[in-house]
Structure 1
């Protein structure tokens, strides 16, 4: 399989999850991604957690977001380290970073610094809340910039006046924003090939959060309100777009948006044909007017059978539905398996780890992933390719520039 970005070289000076995860996607696409780490390594390396099932400690975050890269350690606080970086970007296609503007200016690796040395270099920045504006130099994390400031936390609060809900998973906003940034970098590579222009690509956690919430934000802005009224299961506009609990305490999510189209068939296969002509529920308008009663009737109906039984019943009608799955079930989902949405990678210590495939495919196949590097694993190899001989590399190590 020829991957779409083979032959593209990317230099990444970034830490934690957002921009590194974008680099991981681009590495899966075939780009040669050289990750520059400080002497102590990316701080994300310190987030290893104890696994179960005899796996021991595996840094799942590190393996997910830094897959397929080569690691070079450089002390960019030293001018000699910056000079090595300058050599790296001379023939690179893309530079990616999430360092804050003051740090980039101090190190002389900001946009003008690098593009003056390589006018064909695409410069990609992942930020918390955007490069422009009064907070342009301010940092951010997905829990605050994407989830909180982006309007998501307040919108999923369980009850008025209660504490806003937290993110459902670590690096939730980072992962989504990474996909946006990776797409922007790929588009910039295409633009440069077509026009010769080397763009500056910006993506931010705040903007991605707002993109995910665009329907609500646009509506609230149009209506001139701070928030939109929250709904409930029993005030739904359509009882066939709701979540129901089965007899074995599993949940089914229904999304039959064309209620009138699906209601008669659903009622018949579900064993309640009497509901079709019930004057309370006969039409869309009737079901909206009597939503509470309709939802309670469906609650009782779904609670009468197990998930396995409902799977068989709902498969006999055309309305859209699916199971509310637990995260630990997904690796066995037949669609996940058939489409290669998870794949096994070999770790440096010989163990295996199942990771999520990049969320796009080419020619009907998932992009192959590989393991993440050890800190500085490729320093000698990359420096030698730049023309540094053994003595020069040794001198850089003695000076503490390379580790």
Structure 2
């Protein structure tokens, strides 16, 4: 594959989404990512067919495709002597070892840092975890709902202050996907340093750490003030001192999102575009200070005007407006958004084996204004024999490994 990671081999011993998503990003960037799966069970997500209210029919598996496109699948049982030896043979040829196995499991299976460094002193060892490698919860597992969303402050930070309950993540593997991108960035930095200095690092990224970073400004405010972040009330809420920051409901029950931090700069033209030119001339809003002081009056007038027309009308009325606004879109609309398409955030995947094409979300980094070229996720165990032959093995070794149960 082409890309800035071409020539880099990543050995991935992981399942679910958080760490495998990092492997998918590296594959998008051109790395040869070898995914190790257990010969009997494979990645636990291969059989997942229910995503919230959506039932997945047919051969497609959006979760697996999101986190595993572009990889090669090798099915081996590393708990057996022969399987462990094969894993170490792959590690000798690899630049990166990527895992989300917990400390006790890594030690039991002989895949900890020292084990890999014994066969390959230059390998970058990357660990993704729920809560990080240090502290009392270092050996505790978790998912993005617990480590990223709940414990790191995102859940309460997103929950309206007058809501009885807690807002869930926006979609499946939300924190996992952000975390996977972060892991990929950490690995890229470690590879860069190794290229410059020869030093091979251990890279650690946790869902908790990624979540704290995502809520970093609010956490920093808590550090400075001792006060927790409290979200605005539910509904079409607007900043109390700036009528051009917040959400306005449209006639069809949709929402406009406004984020004009320099509210007075855009107030006049915005009022004209929504059919309230007299508001722009009103002395109550004649300066930045006056607009902030009388924001409640402006908000009331704007709510009435915007609620009178559907979202499609406002898309047209605000087309070309210099202020910062967006329609609040659902995921089906995101999938068709022309700006998303223009920037290669969704790309076509050609599956030659099945004779079909389909689309997937690409990782968001572009190189030379080109979207990555994605290839399908691997069939289970599809590359086991191929890789053994690449490593210098022969069919006698392949048959012996199959007879011992070390490979599928």
TM-score of the two chains, using structure 1 as the length reference: 0.95
Q: Paired residue for 2:7? A: 7
Q: For residues 266 and 207 of structure 1, do their structure 2 counterparts lie closer, same or farther at Cα, with a shift above 3 Å needed? A: same
Q: Distance in 1 between matches of 2:198 and 2:290?
A: 60
1:172 counterpart (168, 174, 192) = 174
Q: Answer yes or no: is the 8 Å Cα contact 1:49–1:57 preserved in 2.
A: no
Structure 1 segments unaligned to the other structure (5+ residues): none
Shift of 1:164: 1.2
Q: Where in structure 2 are the equivalents of 1:185-224 lying within 5 Å? A: 185-224=187-226
Q: Distance in 2 between matches of 1:53 and 1:108?
A: 38
Which aligned segments of 4 or more residues in structure 1 are displaced greater than 4 angstroms? 49-55
2:27 paired with 1:45:
no
Q: Distance in 1 between matches of 2:55 and 2:133?
A: 44
1:237 counterpart (219, 241, 244) = 241
Q: Distance in 2 between matches of 1:238 and 1:54?
A: 44
2:328 counterpart (321, 324, 327) = 324
Q: Secondary structure at the match of 2:348?
A: strand
Q: For residues 346 and 381 of structure 1, do their structure 2 counterparts lie closer, same or farther at Cα, with a shift above 3 Å needed? A: same
Q: Paired residue for 1:106? A: 108
2:360 paired with 1:363:
no
Q: Answer yes or no: is the 8 Å Cα contact 1:275–1:282 preserved in 2.
A: no
Shift of 1:344: 1.6
Q: Distance in 2 between matches of 1:174 and 1:234?
A: 30
Once the two structures are overlaid, the 10-residue window that deviates more, 341-350 or 111-120, is: 341-350
Shift of 1:71: 0.4
Once the two structures are overlaid, the 10-residue window that deviates more, 140-149 or 265-274, is: 265-274
Q: Secondary structure at the match of 2:133?
A: coil
Q: Distance in 2 between matches of 1:330 and 1:5?
A: 29
Q: Answer yes or no: is the 8 Å Cα contact 1:235–1:292 preserved in 2.
A: no
Shift of 1:313: 2.0
Q: Distance in 2 between matches of 1:94 and 1:202?
A: 13
Structure 2 segments unaligned to the other structure (5+ residues): none
Shift of 1:316: 4.8
Q: Paired residue for 2:150? A: 148
Q: Secondary structure at the match of 2:349?
A: strand
Q: Paired residue for 2:69? A: 67
Q: Answer yes or no: is the 8 Å Cα contact 2:148–2:210 preserved in 1.
A: yes
Shift of 1:160: 4.6
Shift of 1:65: 0.6
Q: Distance in 1 between matches of 2:214 and 2:240?
A: 22
Q: Secondary structure at the match of 2:407?
A: coil
Shift of 1:235: 4.8
Q: For residues 188 and 153 of structure 1, do their structure 2 counterparts lie closer, same or farther at Cα, with a shift above 3 Å needed? A: same
Q: Distance in 2 between matches of 1:79 and 1:375?
A: 22
